[in-house]
Structure 1
Amino acid sequence: MEHLHVLNGDSTAVSFGGTGLPGRRAVWREALCEDRVAWHADPLAVLRERSSFFPDYERQVLAEWEVIAAHRGPVVLWFEFDLFCQINLLFLVSYLPDENPVFLICPGDHPEIPNFHGLGECNARQLAALYVTRIHLTEADRQAARLLWKAYTSPNPEALAAVRDTGPFVHFPAAISLHLQRFPSVTTGLNRIETFFLEQLLRKPAGLSTLLPAFWRAYPGFGFGDTQLKETLNDLVQYGLLANNGGDYSLAPDGHAVWAGSSDYVSRWTGSRWLGGCELASGQPVPRWNPAENTISRPPLQ
């Protein structure tokens, strides 16, 4: 039976063409770690709700899903260890047709690549060699993924924090931890990423060419690219914590106040933010991340 290789992005796809591995290819470009993701029994319902998430969604995502959903035969999932990839992986494992054997390739490191960040760094020979490391996912493994996906899309992040058994998805505990750190902290209202940028700018102003590589070195496990990190910086500017002076970011007086704990960042929000299935609405008590324990707590209703 013909194999279908589902690749985690276009960077991997470029090298994969030279592997000589037989079978068809599909490229998964969604970013299910971003914005609202609701649980539905029908995967198309999940995706259609997100069709305005980025341009050309029909071609970039829905057309690829049609290829994946229509395939009958073995499916090989090529994904990375970071939060970005792990959430996409859970979606695919949860919704692939039951009759398809599913295999997973998800390395956390590579003997030939120091400071390994993912499959996109591998050449064709290295990707071909990884094929023999594939893991066959059992029905119990796939059921574990479905439970994890339901927890991620739940309005209650406590459900995800309570997960203990992640089956063969050995990188998911670290991904869960990083996901919880995206919630506002109990002390300042800043999440882990926002805290990192303010901490960097306490020292001196800096531009994107300094801030983004520093973040990637410190937190490769998020797997976020320029787009997500620039949006975070733009929000910090919009809400008055940072100033942007010709591309150099600096800490504004309100940023110093939030950093010191005398002002709460969440109180400045307008509108809503979504993390998986959990809405963080301005003016309402929101789940908070406790950095000391890396747990989620929910303040009582006012």
Structure 2
Amino acid sequence: MLHIVNGDFVGDKLRKGNIRGDVLVWREVYPVGPVSVNMEEPWSPRVEYLERTLGISADDYVTNYKSQEQILQNYHQYDEIVLWFEHDLFDQLMLSYLLHWFSKRTLGHTKLNLLCIGDYPGIDLFRGLGQLTTRQLEALSGTWQRIGQKELETGRRIWEAYASPEIERHVEILHEDTSALPFANAALELHLSRLPSVKNGLGIVEQTALDLIRRGINNPRELFKEVGNRLSVLGMGDLEFWYRLWSMSQQPNALLELRGQYAFPDYRQKMAPSFENCEVALTELGLEVAVGEKDWVNVKGMDEWYGGLRLHGGLTWRWDTERKQLVDIEMG
């Protein structure tokens, strides 16, 4: 039996417990940076992006990529495979990628199973499987459900939509039946809320951060914690948040300024005391954008990736979170 899990915490606990089989930790962060529909080999735009933004070296990324793909290619060696995932965008994209991958294979004797939860008894704010103890994970063993054609097809459609370069496809998937993966719709809706909003050109991560800073939370670590609590369905890690914070602090037209000595953490350079102790504040432009007086994309410009969607140049649309639809700003 092969268990494919979403992180090292879960993988380590499964190995220590009484759950039989091999464990494969799927090390990817699909909410960050470009993806393509078929990623059978390391895709250079993604490799370059993750090195530039998160500090993940190209060598490290490629080595890990080839290692986990090789294990996946040998799936036929296992009678059963169990996918362990949770409800957030981080996991739902990982799950959809793997379902897309398996949908193109002849499984033969290999049975696919899914364990996917959005809460756990006794945990008020369930953030993920990593919160659970070894014994709690053991209690989930055997509660997984068989993955059938409907789940494979749903995962395939979600991944192809997320990897599409067309914004319309990212929106259309919200209105399709994805109930075979019951957490997918909410996660994909939050994915779209990360895009430039009709209010001021900010995504929900940036907007939430500015709102919290206005309310007096100005320590980077505390800010990450509070944004994570409010947007828990994103499953956003600290490296992604530091990158978003860094982007907002870049001149010209910065929304934020950091006071004190600091260096932004990344994959190579972990959190330094200087960064822990610095203070985050809004610039004058940051305040104007936060309250909707200015549109940051119009002021700053944009060159960013969300899945297969590259946002750059003259962006003619904005996302209306409340109405869940695109607004053509050229038409007013």
Q: What's the TM-score, normalizing by structure 2?
A: 0.84
Q: For residues 28 and 204 of structure 1, do their structure 2 counterparts lie closer, same or farther at Cα, with a shift above 3 Å needed?
A: same
Amino acid of the residue matched to residue 63 of structure 1? S
- Tell me the equivalent position of 1:30: 28
Is 2:153 aligned against 1:125?
Answer: no
Paired with 1:205 and 1:220, the residues of 2 have a C-alpha distance of: 18
Amino acid of the residue matched to residue 17 of structure 1? R
Paired with 2:113 and 2:43, the residues of 1 have a C-alpha distance of: 23
Q: For residues 273 and 243 of structure 1, do their structure 2 counterparts lie closer, same or farther at Cα, with a shift above 3 Å needed?
A: same
Shift of 1:156: 1.9
- Tell me the equivalent position of 2:167: 157
Paired with 1:77 and 1:13, the residues of 2 have a C-alpha distance of: 12
Amino acid of the residue matched to residue 161 of structure 1? V
2:188 to 157, 176, 181: 176
- Tell me the equivalent position of 1:64: 68
Shift of 1:295: 2.3
1:86 to 68, 92, 95: 92
Structure-to-structure mapping, 1:1-302, within 5 angstroms: 3-40=1-38, 43-45=39-41, 47=43, 50-52=46-48, 53=50, 54-55=56-57, 56-72=60-76, 73=78, 74-96=80-102, 97-99=105-107, 100-163=110-173, 164-204=176-216, 206-238=218-250, 239-246=253-260, 247-270=278-301, 272-281=303-312, 283-300=313-330
Shift of 1:79: 1.0
Q: For residues 89 and 287 of structure 1, do their structure 2 counterparts lie closer, same or farther at Cα, with a shift above 3 Å needed?
A: farther
Q: What's the TM-score, normalizing by structure 1?
A: 0.91
Q: For residues 62 and 296 of structure 1, do their structure 2 counterparts lie closer, same or farther at Cα, with a shift above 3 Å needed?
A: farther
Amino acid of the residue matched to residue 314 of structure 2? Q
Paired with 1:62 and 1:137, the residues of 2 have a C-alpha distance of: 25
Tell me the secondary structure at the aligned position of residue 29 of structure 1.
coil
Paired with 2:5 and 2:26, the residues of 1 have a C-alpha distance of: 6
Paired with 1:224 and 1:25, the residues of 2 have a C-alpha distance of: 23
Paired with 2:134 and 2:322, the residues of 1 have a C-alpha distance of: 43
Paired with 2:331 and 2:24, the residues of 1 have a C-alpha distance of: 46
Per mean C-alpha deviation after superposition, the further-off stretch among 224-233 and 159-168 is: 159-168
Q: For residues 49 and 252 of structure 1, do their structure 2 counterparts lie closer, same or farther at Cα, with a shift above 3 Å needed?
A: closer
Tell me the secondary structure at the aligned position of residue 166 of structure 1.
coil
Paired with 2:126 and 2:217, the residues of 1 have a C-alpha distance of: 30
Where does the alignment leave 5 or more consecutive residues of structure 2 unmatched? 51-55, 261-277
Percent of residue pairs bearing the same amino acid type: 29
Deviations 1:95-154, CA, capped at 9 Å, x for gaps: 023314211111111114332211111122211221222111111220111111111111
Paired with 1:124 and 1:150, the residues of 2 have a C-alpha distance of: 35
Maintained 8 Å contact 1:285/1:301? no
Per mean C-alpha deviation after superposition, the further-off stretch among 169-178 and 108-117 is: 108-117
Amino acid of the residue matched to residue 152 of structure 2? R
Tell me the secondary structure at the aligned position of residue 75 of structure 1.
strand
Q: CA RMSD in A?
A: 2.0
